[in-house]
Copies of this chain bind each other. A is one copy, B any other.
Amino acid sequence: MGDDGRMHAMEDDESAAADQIRAIDIYPLSNYYFGSKEPLIFKDKTLADRVIRMKSNYAAYGLRTSVEAVLLVELFKHPHVLLLQIRNSIFNLPGGRLRPNESDIDGLKRKLSRKLSANGAPDASDWEVGDCLGTWWRPDFETLLYPHLSNNVKGAKECTKLFLVKLPENRKFIVPKNLKLIAVPLCQLHENHKMYGPVISGIPQLLSKFSFNIIET
């Protein structure tokens, strides 16, 4: 897994970075403009539809990878994560499934543009994709996601990767009318599995190695 050259290079990076805590610049929510566009059509009406589609896709393409973005803004001097809410209930990170052979970064930019940018805007796909924060695995079609693979599982069916996406100082978010973009503070996400599920409620932990520079403008 990975050639020798690359492995050595990584070890060098690691020792250099070992004692540093990286700071992320975050900007006030009020720096961003929020508008809306035509609704997004969802492929799956029910969970059963989703399982059927997941199975046929797995048969055709094997493991499916989803990529999701952690976008941060400041509100009340506290970091907030941007979530998309569907039908007043389900919360999702912006993102989605990769096409076959699509790279993580290209796919995430495409999905972010589709869900958060005006169609055809010049900066639609201009997103700064940073670190991979974590990976979650779905060992079988109808199971929950886990942050590890068990050794008794032959092959995972789905993999979800979370990336930190750095926002510029200003940006327009243009969101499909049937989705709501909301900002939720880290302290509300932490351990709140019931409302946000295991992936989103774990974000405060995944971000805990960073410090935040809250930029007042």
Contacts and interface: CB of A to CB of B under 8 A. Distances in A.
A13 B103 CA distance: 5
Given A3-B155, A5-B149, A206-B206, 14 more contacts: A2-B10, A2-B23, A3-B151, A6-B149, A9-B65, A12-B98, A12-B103, A15-B103, A16-B103, A19-B103, A76-B151, A147-B207, A148-B190, A202-B205
Contacts of A124: none
B205 A134 contact: yes
Interface in A162-176: 163
Contact of A20 (B3, B13, B20, B104): B104
A148 B17 contact: no
Contacts of A153: 3, 5
Given A7-B23, A10-B2, A137-B5, A148 B207 contact: yes
User: 7 closest A-B pairs (Cβ-Cβ)?
Assistant: A5-B156, A4-B155, A147-B208, A134-B208, A148-B186, A78-B151, A77-B151
Contact of A204 (B8, B23, B148, B163): B148
A77 to B, nearest CB: 4
Contacts of A134: 205-206, 208-209
A177 interface: no
21 contacts: A1-B151, A1-B213, A2-B10, A3-B155, A4-B155, A5-B156, A9-B63, A9-B159, A12-B63, A13-B104, A16-B104, A17-B131, A18-B130, A21-B135, A76-B151, A131-B209, A135-B209, A147-B204, A148-B190, A150-B187, A206-B206
A106 to B, nearest CB: 8
A79 interface: yes
A151 to B, nearest CB: 4
Contact of A205 (B4, B14, B206): B206
